[in-house]
A and B are shown apart, each in its own frame.
Chain A
Amino acid sequence: MVLLQRPHILLLLIDTHQFLQCWIAFGSANEEGQQQEEFSEELLVKPLPDHKLLAHFHFQSSAPPSTSNGCHHHLFPKAISQLVQKFRVKEMELSFTQGRWNYESWGGFDPISSSNAKPPGVELWAVFDVPQHHIDASWKNLTHTLSGLFCASINFLESTATYSTPEWSFPPASGNVRYGTFPCEAVCTENLTPWLRLLPCRDKAGIALLLDRPSLYRGFYHSQRLHLTSTESSSEGIDSGIILEQTLTVVLQPNSERAIEVHASEKHVQPSWSLSSIFGKQVSGRCVLAKSSSVYLLLDWGLVAELKFPNKENGKSAANGLTSENFWSNPSFELSVNPDRIFLEESSSHSKSLSILYMFQVEKYSESEPFDIGLMWKVPVAWLCQQTPLHASRFFMGSGNERGAIAISLKSTQFTEGFMSANSKDGSCELRVDVFQVVPWYVKVYFHSLRVFVDQQPRAVSDFIEKIHVSPSKDKMSPGVMEVVLKLPCRVNTAALTIEFDKGFLRIDEYPPDANQGFDIPSAIISFPNFHASMVFLEDDSLNRSPLLSKFQEKCPVMSYTEVLLVPLTTPDFSMPYNVSTIKCTVFALYFGSLLNVLQRRVAEEERFLKAKAAKKTGRLPLLLSKLSAKLRGSGINQD
């Protein structure tokens, strides 16, 4: 009886609990009416040194922590809030990337590159707010849900052999994190469309109108990212606030034909561009649901330093010149639209120059007067983007199909010496580098074979590795994970880590259909926890309202991804099973069949049987009758 009554009591309890919560939430919502769902759309455009253009779309939706409207949302995508509630996701990031971020020419030390340069294919990590033993189940369900939501094969990340549990080296390391990548995933329109459906205006209005698929996918690099953070729920049951950040980063080649015609002699002139020339579309007004809708043009400090006026030597004064009233008539470039605001970077550790940010508000424009900024270069400029302290690359060593070695090489970029000196403490300057590497199980890594080379000299591992954590792979169960903290001297030129491996064998049905293409080893993550990429622009009250700029102000550690490696494994002759079974069957049929026939045949018996059959050729009916009579007489006992 107790057992029977219990669910009712429980239900009753839950009911009253929810009712109370709703009531409380309603009251609180009434009190603080400013807590509303918000959406903002922003686009940042930045010329890159190698005649390309970076366009960074940033959409942010936020849902406050309240149950005032139950499960209903005005702007926030319902699919995401359901996902957060169901799987109790604390933080999650999903990125679809095609192409490789070129750290050398596009930079690696700014907020955009350190948080939006992603490894090719799909990368997913998530932090869950569930007990330890439920995390894997939640992860599995999450991958399936996301694969349905984004038309992708993220569900391949469900198997334990594909994802890993970083202990501490992965930046959002807070325990219950799971990390998985799927490097060979194709990224195309079908992934972008559901991503755009999460926006309140979709791609029908506002800045998202620019997202013309063919011009996006013609680019050199595109990475679509979805990052969500749910704020700590105070008590269970109450909706947690969610911040959904959707970014799309593309590197495009502006159509430079006109520029080439004009300045055929000068090869170094940057191509002139306008939004309509690169995207083929214009922004006709903002998305009316967006709280803020703005476009930024960022001139890197390296570029600003190059643009300084002939009579002024100081970068600061150059910046002043660019921000002054007559900026559009400056000798280096011409903007087609007057910016509404100009921000100057407040300060940076590098003293050479300061970045400049031109802001354009889309609100002012309409269908009849669409927004289209253009930038026309007048003089050739060449500059360099700021790079990561060490440039990381990864490659294979060895030959043959049996064994090899993975090498991660770090090269000093000579670009950040200023930081090094700033970071040095009483002469013992050290550069901390975190390496996080996941290796699939069929690449059997021998962790004891880890060797460190500093300035091309083999050195003792213990001298440079401060901390190491490895979890060896288990066949078909879990991948090998290596997390290393390196402490390198600041003056280091090159450093390399090598580790040997044997190639494993897969079962014949575990090979993918294009096995001869090779197998991908996911990118290693190289992060520099002592360096933070942030851009602080001069404090202004409107800054607080721009999610993109406040994102830039956050101190995120500098991170870079290495290349994906393609390891060729020995592939079997896939037709062999068929050959084997065919020949086996033939042998059986020919040999055993005839042998059995010969052995089993009893000629005399057969003849006797035939004779008996001939003798017994009586009708069926008499037989039946005789049987019936036998039954009736009860003599059926002697049947055997």
Chain B
Amino acid sequence: METFINPKSLFHLLLLPCLLLYSSIAYNSSPVEAAMHTNNWAVLVCTSRFWFNYRHMANTLSLYRTVKRLGIPDERIILMLADDMACNTRNKYPAQVFNNENHRLNLYGDNVEVDYRGYEVTVENFLRVLTGRHETAVPRSKRLLSDEGSHILLYMTGHGGDEFLKFQDSEELQSHDLADAVKQMKEKHRFKELLIMVDTCQAATLFNQLQSPGVLAIGSSMKGENSYSHHLDSDVGVSVVDRFTYYTLAFFERLNIYDNASLSSLFSSYNPSLLMSTTYYRKDLYKRRLEEVPVTNFFGSVMETIHTDAAYKALSRRNSGRFEDEMSLDQSVHHIKRRMLIKVNDGDEIHDINPELLQGEEGASKCPWSTFRNKFQKAENVDSLLNYGLVAMIPLLVISTWLVQ
């Protein structure tokens, strides 16, 4: 038995703090934190087959219509419908779907674009869409091509139970599967904020396993509660809409793309006595205050516009964006600072950016170690202090392992 420390393991141990430091810097500058809101996506899923589940399709199509009305284009909506109700032979109104017995609004208008339908709506395909693991042949229109700045609305309706959602009456999506998929999405930088809205029985249980930050979830009913349909259309012959979705739509029908209604006003608009169930929303993973987040953050496509006076600014911004891709992670710290700078003095010229910073960037691109040195010299924020603390832990770790051997 050797008492001396293997030189190789020593090397590893030395490498460890470096890695740790590097990773912490990388984490600080990870694009997730810095990404601006770039686009909005919606994944709308109806998981129920068979004619008597007409209302689930009507639910999904109502949401489809709403998000389209509020500005999300068709190419950024993934619509999954498990059965064909519009041209079903049982449908008295061919190519039309209604969510109200007054038949004032045909949800299945002329421009509906269904991406997954019929047998394609499976748990596998659903998870593939979320995680983006497709076969190469799958066309773009069937993919969720979101990025790290995307806000995604995930709406699901169907028959559910304690921690599961039934797909097509033959498979189940479990809360673990959903949480896992969301976690993968987070890891792959596929979203910035995600709102999961579920209209099933015991919908709240589906969110139990979620862990990823930036996820907001709302369900139509608590554990042990059922979600009920709203009313029956005697012409169509089945219930046409569920209560939760009905009141969601009632909320949205009053809005247009310019409204500033907040998510909390949506969440508080649900009346348990009308719903006959208690809505549940989980916001512990979501950082922003719901009072400040407009509903169009998820249900519409409202971008923050940055005003510039000259055309060249936009160009230079674009250039800097390209830089960002090319630069390594640690350099983008500077870049983000610069970006913040731009945001602060909005009206200022972009050429006003501290040339030293730019210089620093160039220098950094030559020698990554200089960034480390800079970091050590500055030690200005708590995070880096923390990092040094972690580095200081390393000798302790070395000694203790040596002792244990």
Which residues of A pack against B, CB within 8 Å? 98, 140-141, 144-145, 147-149, 151-153, 155-156, 158, 184-190, 193-194, 203, 213-214, 216-218, 511-514, 574, 624, 627-628, 631, 634, 636-637, 639
Whether the Cβ atoms of B117 and A153 lie closer than 8 Å is: yes
Q: How many inter-chain contacts with C-beta < 8 Å in the A-B complex?
A: 101
Whether the Cβ atoms of A216 and B95 lie closer than 8 Å is: yes
Whether the Cβ atoms of B139 and A148 lie closer than 8 Å is: yes
**Is B119 an interface position by the 8 A CB rule?**
yes
Which residue of A148, A185, A193 contacts B111 across the interface (Cβ within 8 Å)?
Answer: A193
Which residue of B88, B115, B168 contacts A151 across the interface (Cβ within 8 Å)?
Answer: B115
- CB-CB contacts below 8 Å: B91-119 with A: 93-96, 108-115, 117-119
A148 (CB) vs chain B CBs: closest residue: B139
Complex Cα distance, B94 from A466, in Å, reads: 47
Nearest chain B CB to A163's CB is how many angstroms away?
15
Given A153-B117, A190-B113, A513-B168, A145-B95 contact (CB < 8 Å):
no
Which residues of B pack against A, CB within 8 Å? 1, 3, 49-50, 83-84, 86-88, 93-96, 108-115, 117-120, 135, 137-142, 168-171, 402-403, 405
B118 (CB) vs chain A CBs: closest residue: A153
Whether the Cβ atoms of B138 and A628 lie closer than 8 Å is: no
Complex Cα distance, B119 from A636, in Å, reads: 67
Whether the Cβ atoms of A217 and B94 lie closer than 8 Å is: yes
B91 (CB) vs chain A CBs: closest residue: A217
Whether the Cβ atoms of B108 and A636 lie closer than 8 Å is: no
Whether the Cβ atoms of B3 and A186 lie closer than 8 Å is: no
Chain A residue contacts of B109, Cβ below 8 A? 189
18 example contacts (A-B, Cβ-Cβ < 8 A) are as follows: A145-B139, A148-B142, A149-B141, A152-B117, A153-B119, A155-B137, A186-B87, A186-B117, A186-B118, A188-B84, A188-B95, A193-B112, A213-B110, A214-B94, A513-B168, A574-B170, A624-B403, A636-B405
Complex Cα distance, B117 from A627, in Å, reads: 68
Chain A residue contacts of B110, Cβ below 8 A? 189, 193, 203, 213
Whether the Cβ atoms of A217 and B137 lie closer than 8 Å is: no
Which residue of A144, A152, A624 contacts B137 across the interface (Cβ within 8 Å)?
Answer: A144
Chain B residue contacts of A147, Cβ below 8 A? 139, 142
Complex Cα distance, B120 from A218, in Å, reads: 26
Complex Cα distance, B143 from A144, in Å, reads: 12
Whether the Cβ atoms of A193 and B113 lie closer than 8 Å is: yes
A99 (CB) vs chain B CBs: closest residue: B89
Whether the Cβ atoms of B119 and A512 lie closer than 8 Å is: yes
Chain B residue contacts of A217, Cβ below 8 A? 86-87, 94-95
Chain A residue contacts of B138, Cβ below 8 A? 144, 148, 155
Nearest chain A CB to B157's CB is how many angstroms away?
17
Whether the Cβ atoms of A628 and B403 lie closer than 8 Å is: yes
Nearest chain A CB to B29's CB is how many angstroms away?
36
Chain B residue contacts of A194, Cβ below 8 A? 113
Complex Cα distance, B87 from A188, in Å, reads: 6
Complex Cα distance, B114 from A627, in Å, reads: 69
Whether the Cβ atoms of B94 and A186 lie closer than 8 Å is: no
Complex Cα distance, B87 from A310, in Å, reads: 46
Given A190-B113, A193-B113, A214-B93, A144-B139 contact (CB < 8 Å):
yes
Whether the Cβ atoms of B86 and A627 lie closer than 8 Å is: no
Whether the Cβ atoms of B1 and A637 lie closer than 8 Å is: yes
Chain A residue contacts of B137, Cβ below 8 A? 140-141, 144-145, 155, 158
Complex Cα distance, B253 from A178, in Å, reads: 49
B134 (CB) vs chain A CBs: closest residue: A144
Chain B residue contacts of A511, Cβ below 8 A? 170
Chain B residue contacts of A203, Cβ below 8 A? 110
Chain B residue contacts of A153, Cβ below 8 A? 117-120
B84 (CB) vs chain A CBs: closest residue: A186
Residue from B1, B120, B138, B139 whose CB has the most chain A CB atoms within 10 Å: B139
Chain A residue contacts of B403, Cβ below 8 A? 624, 627-628, 631
Nearest chain A CB to B261's CB is how many angstroms away?
31
What 4 A-B pairs are tightest by C-beta distance, nearest first? A148-B139, A186-B84, A217-B94, A188-B87
Given A149-B139, A627-B403, A631-B403, A636-B3 contact (CB < 8 Å):
yes
Complex Cα distance, B200 from A520, in Å, reads: 32
Whether the Cβ atoms of A189 and B117 lie closer than 8 Å is: no
Whether the Cβ atoms of A188 and B169 lie closer than 8 Å is: no
Whether the Cβ atoms of B113 and A634 lie closer than 8 Å is: no
Which residue of B95, B119, B135 contacts A213 across the interface (Cβ within 8 Å)?
Answer: B95
Complex Cα distance, B318 from A228, in Å, reads: 42
Complex Cα distance, B403 from A193, in Å, reads: 73
Complex Cα distance, B87 from A574, in Å, reads: 29
Whether the Cβ atoms of B49 and A151 lie closer than 8 Å is: no
Whether the Cβ atoms of A188 and B86 lie closer than 8 Å is: yes
With contacts A156-B120, A190-B112, A634-B3 known, what are 12 further pairs, Cβ within 8 A? A141-B137, A147-B142, A155-B120, A186-B83, A186-B117, A189-B109, A213-B96, A214-B96, A624-B403, A628-B403, A636-B405, A637-B1
Complex Cα distance, B3 from A184, in Å, reads: 73
Nearest chain B CB to A179's CB is how many angstroms away?
19
Chain A residue contacts of B93, Cβ below 8 A? 214
Chain B residue contacts of A634, Cβ below 8 A? 3
Chain B residue contacts of A98, Cβ below 8 A? 87
B83 (CB) vs chain A CBs: closest residue: A186
B140 (CB) vs chain A CBs: closest residue: A148
B405 (CB) vs chain A CBs: closest residue: A636
Chain B residue contacts of A574, Cβ below 8 A? 170
Complex Cα distance, B138 from A145, in Å, reads: 7
Given A217-B94, A627-B403, A637-B3, A190-B114 contact (CB < 8 Å):
yes
Complex Cα distance, B139 from A202, in Å, reads: 23
Whether the Cβ atoms of B169 and A513 lie closer than 8 Å is: yes
Complex Cα distance, B142 from A145, in Å, reads: 10
B89 (CB) vs chain A CBs: closest residue: A98
Which residue of B83, B95, B119, B140 contacts A214 across the interface (Cβ within 8 Å)?
Answer: B95
Chain A residue contacts of B117, Cβ below 8 A? 151-153, 186, 190
Whether the Cβ atoms of A218 and B84 lie closer than 8 Å is: no
Chain B residue contacts of A184, Cβ below 8 A? 118
Complex Cα distance, B222 from A372, in Å, reads: 58
Complex Cα distance, B137 from A140, in Å, reads: 8
Chain B residue contacts of A158, Cβ below 8 A? 137
Residue from A145, A213, A513, A574 whose CB has the most chain B CB atoms within 10 Å: A513
Complex Cα distance, B169 from A627, in Å, reads: 63
Complex Cα distance, B86 from A193, in Å, reads: 14
Whether the Cβ atoms of A151 and B113 lie closer than 8 Å is: yes
Nearest chain A CB to B362's CB is how many angstroms away?
31
Complex Cα distance, B86 from A631, in Å, reads: 80
A636 (CB) vs chain B CBs: closest residue: B3
Complex Cα distance, B128 from A424, in Å, reads: 61
Complex Cα distance, B134 from A147, in Å, reads: 14
Chain A residue contacts of B49, Cβ below 8 A? 513-514
Nearest chain B CB to A518's CB is how many angstroms away?
14
Complex Cα distance, B119 from A627, in Å, reads: 66
Complex Cα distance, B86 from A188, in Å, reads: 7
Complex Cα distance, B160 from A269, in Å, reads: 55
Which residue of A185, A189, A216 contacts B112 across the interface (Cβ within 8 Å)?
Answer: A189
Whether the Cβ atoms of A187 and B87 lie closer than 8 Å is: yes
Complex Cα distance, B123 from A64, in Å, reads: 45
Complex Cα distance, B49 from A184, in Å, reads: 14
Chain A residue contacts of B87, Cβ below 8 A? 98, 186-189, 217
